[in-house]
Each structure stands twice: as C-alpha cells, then as structure tokens.
Structure 1
Amino acid sequence: MDDTVRLYVVATPIGNLSDLSPRAVEVLQTVDLIACEDTRTTGRLLKHIHSSVPTISYHQHNEESRSEQLLEMMLQGKTLAVVSDAGMPGISDPGERLIAKAVDQGLPLSVLPGPCAFLTALVGSGLPASRFSFIGFLEKNRSARRAELQAFSQREETLIFYEAPHRLKETLALFHEVFGDRRACLARELSKLHEEYERGPLGELAQRYETKTPRGEYVLILEGFTQAQREDEARAHEAAYTVREDVLAALKQGCSKKEAIKQVARARGLSKNQVYQEVLDL
C-alpha cells in the first residue's frame, strides 16, 4: 500500500465475494478507517477477509456532513477507504462528494478497479458495447421520467439504466411507449447463484412483467436508435404528412419559407425545387 495515498476508492463484489481483488483485500486490512454505505453489509465483507479495521457510516442521508468529517481526518494524516454496499463508489452510490473534496484539497487518492454492475450487464447483454451512455436511475415522477426518456429517444449509442423492482413493470411499459420495440436486456443477481439475463424486444419484456414478479434491482440495457429505425420513422412520417404540411409546420416554428423548404427537402431526400413546387401559393 502506498503511504502517500490518503483516500482509497475500493470497488467491492456485486454478489460473489471471490471477485474481491487481492489488492482490495490488502487495502481493506491496512487503512485507518473504512467509510461504508451500510456498516453491517461491509462488516460481513471484512469478516470474510479477516479485517479488523473500524468502519463509519457514509450514505446518501449523511454524505455531505460526513464528507467534511472524513476530509478533516485525511488532512490530519489518516488513510481512509471508501466502499459502497456493492460495486464502485460514486456510481449511483455514495462516494462522489468525498472524492471531489479530496481532489479539491489536492489529497492523493487511488481508485482500485473492480466489479461494476452496469459494465457486467452491458457485456453480457449482447447489445453493442463500443459506444454507450450510463444513465443510472431515472426520476421517480412519471411525467419527469417520460420527459427524460424522450430526450434520449434519438441517441444512437446503447443506453444503460438502473431500476428498482417495484417500478420495473411501469418502467418497461413506459420504455415500450417511448422507444417502440427496440432490443433490450434485463440483468439481475449478477455474479450470484441465480444470475439472470432476459433479452428481447421491449414489448415482449413489458408483457412478461405484466404477470412476473420482479426481484432485486435490475440493470436495463437498451439498444440505441439505429439507422434502420430512423428510416422507418421517416417513412411513417411521410405516409402520415404531406410535403406541404411539413413546410407549414416549419413556418409555424419560425423558419423563413426558404429555410423551411430547405429543411423539408433534406429530411425527405427531395430537391428544393420539388418541395417548392408543392408550396407555390404560400
């Protein structure tokens, strides 16, 4: 262990205790204090690795005040580790504020790589993993969630969400409504005995959970907006609206006639003259 480091950010197992790295074991056996989300959960982990290092609670309800207290300890020369109940601290778990404060004070810190639920789920989903965005938990309010999802609807990269079991049924129905029948994957109990991946179109998953009872937190992996989907939407739009209606809609949004014709021509793959001929009287 590096004597100059004041804060170790330690990823802990998301289910299988064998996934804790030897380096993480060494750090958790030798630091002065471990800040943890739940002292009982971390206590079981420390018992497993025969560590007697004291712990202190550090969770969403005391994160701000506790961060100041822990920062003062580090400034006095103490070496701390921060862990969450499972996975990497700071990723949808406490840790971000303490890390930011340590960085602001110029305190040396070290992040120990390790288990992370959303990366594990992404790789196991079978969906494209070269470009992705981690969103995490959505807003709890339904209308706010809908607005949030609609803002993501044109994103081309794979999207990753976390969801609690009591909201999963409603969330899947909302996803199907906003994103259509895109490919998706639900992952739960990762690295545990009953690890499960459920893959399929959103409509199929939403229908399944009309009767199936969700258990545990889920990672929801969603296919990005593909070129094929973009073309399908364009064809559907062209079938529902005329060129003239599209130009009128652009004019209502404040475009000049010239700009409106240009936009509609580009969107429909037409020449500007073809569009112009449809709106000579405007």
Structure 2
Amino acid sequence: MSESQLEIHITTKNRWQELQFTLTQLRLQEGYEHARIVVFDDGSTDNTSNLLAVHFPEVERLRNEKSRGLIHCRNYMLNNCRAEFAISLDDDAHFVDKSVFKYIQKSFENEQVGVLAFRIFWGKQLPENTAHAQSSERVQSFVGCGHAWRLSVWRQIENYPAWWKFYGEEDFAAYQLYKRNIYILYQPNVFVQHRVEVKSRKNDSDYQQRLRRAWRAGWFLMLLFYPLNVFFRSFAYSVFTQFKNRIFKSEPQAIKPMLLAIIDFLLAIPRLLKNRKSLTKKEFYEFQRLPSAKIYWTPNS
C-alpha cells in the first residue's frame, strides 16, 4: 500500500480513553506506517489534542475550539483528504483483525464500488466465535462507525447535511450514490467492534435528543428522496406506528422528542422541498429490493 492510497478519519470529543484504545489497536494493523491518520478534536475540554501529540505523534491533529458537530468534521476531513480511499471510524470502534487494509484495497478494485460497509459487532465484549459465512454484496446504505469512501466518488455528490447534527447522513449519501448507479458494497472480512451497549443508551442523558434527531432525519430523507405519494404514506405510517407501539405502550416519555421532531420537520419543509432529489417510482422500488444496511451484527444472524 502506498502512502497516497489510504487515510483513516476519526472524530472525537471528550473521550480520550476510548480514542487511546482505538489508536493503539490501529497501530497493530499491517501497513499502518503507510497510512495517514487524522483525528479531528471537536472542541474537547479533556486535553485530548495535547495528549494525542504526546502519545501518538504520528497522528495528524485537527481541532475546533468550539464544537461544530460530527458531520461538520467528517465533511472537512473528506473534503481535504489527500488519499484515494478514506476509512471512517468512531473513536470507540476498532478493527478486530490485523490485516484489513488488504481487503479494503481489493474491494475497491471494482470500479463501481464507491463505499465499503464493514461488518460491525455492537458491544463491549466480543463473542468467543467471530467466524462468519457471509459474502460481499451490494446494500442500500452503510454505518458511520465503520466504512470507507473512494474519494473520487465522494467528490461527485453533495456533502453530508451538517445542519442535521447527527443521524441520517449516511443514507443521504446512499440515495445519491444509488441515483448514479454507484455501489455500496458490504465487506464482511473487515470486522469492526463498536464498543457500545445499545440497550444501555436508554439510560444516557442524551437519549431523548437521539430519538428526536433520529426521527426527524428519517422524515427529512423521505421528503428529499421518496416519490411524493410514497412519502405521504410512509410519513403517516411512521408517526402512527411510533405512537401506537412505543409511546402508548412501552415508552410514554418519548412523547416529548416525538413532538419536537415533528416541529423540526415542519419547520424544515421549505428547505427540504428546495433541495428535493426524488427517486422515480421505478428507482425507489428497485432500491427497496436491495438488502438493508448491516447495522447490527451478532454471531447468530
């Protein structure tokens, strides 16, 4: 692998311990010495940038003195990337195997592939058996915590929408790629552990904010890319089922983020309509036939 081929992008904020573990694991990768590692410190107050300089001097550091958000940071790194391919990892995600770069390069030999989606285990404790019998295949979308871009393809589409703050940006890119017949390829041989317990997030202080942003991002995507008649049905069904199955049954406290998300969506309608890039009905139903993004991976799936 030549020095010009690969960059690894990580955005972080006040999570030095997680970041330190991720970078320590990265150092074990075959070909690490030839890759450019970029860490964007998005307004940390825990001395992250100074600690990076001391413990990982080979890492290129970027910093916002005041946080501007994950999507802003990812856009900046991709727009200033000097390599052919860019790997995106969360600061709490790392490669389990030590020779993944070769699979990434090999997959990009297919010129139709614009993005690689990695196999991801979501949890703090790896299962004993991590073997798989999956094959590479074209999928609808990819996950932010572990994927790779072909930079020539990134430059053909619009940036991630930074004003969304969080959630939905990968699907925003995925619809644009589909309209250009550029593939998102699921590559199970690149195995990432995302060191997060998803079920425990309900106890986090930002859980309701996450719900609000996830719901509104889904509706933003519908209005931007769905045929109008499909949008109206899908939006109504989405709101109805969330009220029926979540708010009226298991999670009544979700009423507040739901109502705030609806208000966010209504206020954003003029901006969304102005930038609407709808799929045709034929494109939409063909897209729906592709396998969904492999968001969670477990040994028995």
Please report the TM-score for the alignment, with normalisation by the length of structure 1: 0.31
Larger radius of gyration: 1
Please report the TM-score for the alignment, with normalisation by the length of structure 2: 0.30
Q: Relative contact order: is structure 1 or structure 2 higher (C-alpha 8 Å, sep ≥ 6)?
A: 2
